[in-house]
Amino acid sequence: MTSPQPEPPVGGRVWSPARWPALGLSFLALWWIFRRIDRPALWEALSHARPLWFAAAVGAFALALGLAAWRWHQMLRITGTVVAPGVTWRFTLVGHAFTALLMGAALSDVAKTALYSRRYGFPLERILAASALDRSAGVISTLLYGLAALALGVVSAPARAGAGLEWPSAGRVLGVCVAAGVVLAGLGVATRRWWRPAWARFGEEMLRAARALASRPATTAGAVAVGIAIQLLISSVLGCCLTAIQPGGVPWSRMLWTLPVVNLAGAMPVTLSGAGAREGAAILLWGAFGISAATAFSACLLTLCVNLSWAGVGVLVGSGLRRSPGLRSPAAERGVPA
């Protein structure tokens, strides 16, 4: 007997009211930056963007999604909830739409899992365990990639003396972290009747899946390696968009490390698809390499367009799933007679 499952967003609306603050923050950040950059230079940069480099960015993002689908497919195989590669690819696209438009990466995993569970009848906790393993492999890959980028930045980054940046004190940072911890703990206690039973079942499935993954070191290493490749492709999306805009050469040997940093700023779930945060980080970092604010802003807008275009594909795929609701047979999806 499976536990009650939440209604996935694709089964209803494609927008979460919880994203209104993120949309507002993105709008305010973009408006603030837009008012302070050279707007004629911005239009000039966008009007002379090279379409082949933009197409390369779209293709690199597609490859990153394909690798993400492969990694999640391996985790579904470990937990015994795999259906078919095409199904995994479709739900990966839907998951990207959830991430970009609804609620960020972590909660989008829950929505994607609920939709997958409802459609194929697998226990929700078992698919959540697969998604958690997939996300854990991604975190490890991101940390390794980030450390490599940090090391490269230490070697090649120019000094930013006089940049006017004032870092907060350690006491202030600690105070913010403690306050956030208290708020999260209070929310956890207030809602414990809802999440504790489901968390216990999820913990059992997660432990079982982790043991199965530990017994397959080749799969583990492959998942981490694929995660690093995904990070490289996501960075190349931003790099292609900058190359499409920048009229002269880009000093990649000195500023390559900035790509994952800018992408990390865009990955924070406080804005809509990173809009505003990505542009601010790019303007701040790339200015030291002679990249104008208008060029940095234009490159990040192209990157946002790539992200949202694939989110749109995910919405279309999700709409197709909505038009054919109901429990599906995994065997039928594999083309095997039931």
Q: Compute the average pLDDT of residues 192-216.
A: 63
- The pLDDT value recorded for residue 14 is 45
- DSSP 3-state assignment of 169? coil
- HEC letters along 180-223: HHHHHHHHHHHCHHHHHHHHHHHHHHHHHHHHHHHCCHHHHHHH
- The pLDDT value recorded for residue 338 is 41
| Residue pLDDT, tens place only, 130-159 | 888 888 888 888 888 888 887 887 776 655
**Axis-axis angle for helices 277-286, 293-323 (nearest 10):** 150
Under 8 Å between Cβ of 126 and 81: yes
Q: Which two structure tokens, joined as six digits, stand for 270?
A: 């406080």
Residue with tokens 């038009």: 323
Give CA–CA dist 296/281, Å, rounded. 9
Left if phi > 0, otherwise alpha if psi is -120 to 50, otherwise beta: which for 274? Answer: left
Residue with tokens 């689908």: 69
Q: Which of 34-38, 96-100, 162-166 has the lowest mean pLDDT?
A: 162-166
pLDDT at residue 121 is higher than 80: yes
**Max intra-chain CA distance, the chain:** 70
Give CA–CA dist 201/37, Å, rounded. 52
- The pLDDT value recorded for residue 93 is 94
Give CA–CA dist 238/102, Å, rounded. 22
Q: Compute the average pLDDT of residues 258-281.
A: 78
Left if phi > 0, otherwise alpha if psi is -120 to 50, otherwise beta: which for 327? Answer: beta
- The pLDDT value recorded for residue 6 is 45
Q: Which two structure tokens, joined as six digits, stand for 316?
A: 């279309």
Residue 55 burial (CB count, 10 A): 13
Q: Compute the average pLDDT of residues 197-208.
A: 59
**Axis-axis angle for helices 105-120, 293-323 (nearest 10):** 20
| Domain ranges for the chain | 38-157+194-327
| Mean pLDDT score of the chain | 77
The whole-angstrom distance between residue 146's C-alpha and the CA centroid of its chain comes to 15
- The pLDDT value recorded for residue 337 is 47
Q: Which two structure tokens, joined as six digits, stand for 313?
A: 């594909």
- Rounded to the nearest 5 degrees, what angle is found at the Cα of 336, between the Cα atoms of 333 and 338? 90
**What is the per-residue burial (b if ≥16 Cβ within 10 Å, else e) of 89-111?**
bbbbbbbbbbbbbbbbeeebbbb
- Rounded to the nearest 5 degrees, what angle is found at the Cα of 259, between the Cα atoms of 249 and 174? 145
Q: Which of 54-58, 189-193, 221-225 has the lowest mean pLDDT?
A: 189-193
Give CA–CA dist 296/283, Å, rounded. 6
pLDDT at residue 179 is higher than 70: yes
Residue with tokens 């960020």: 104
| Residue pLDDT, tens place only, 18-43 | 556 666 666 777 777 777 777 787 78
34-38, 286-290, 328-332: which is most confident: 286-290
Give CA–CA dist 128/108, Å, rounded. 11
What's this model's pTM, rounded to 2 decimal places?
0.75
Q: Compute the average pLDDT of residues 113-134.
A: 86
Comparing 293 with 5, the larger pLDDT belongs to 293
CA atoms lying within 13 Å on the CB side of residue 148: 12
Give CA–CA dist 160/180, Å, rounded. 31
Residue with tokens 């899992």: 113
Phi and psi at 36, nearest 5°, equal -110, 0
- The pLDDT value recorded for residue 52 is 94
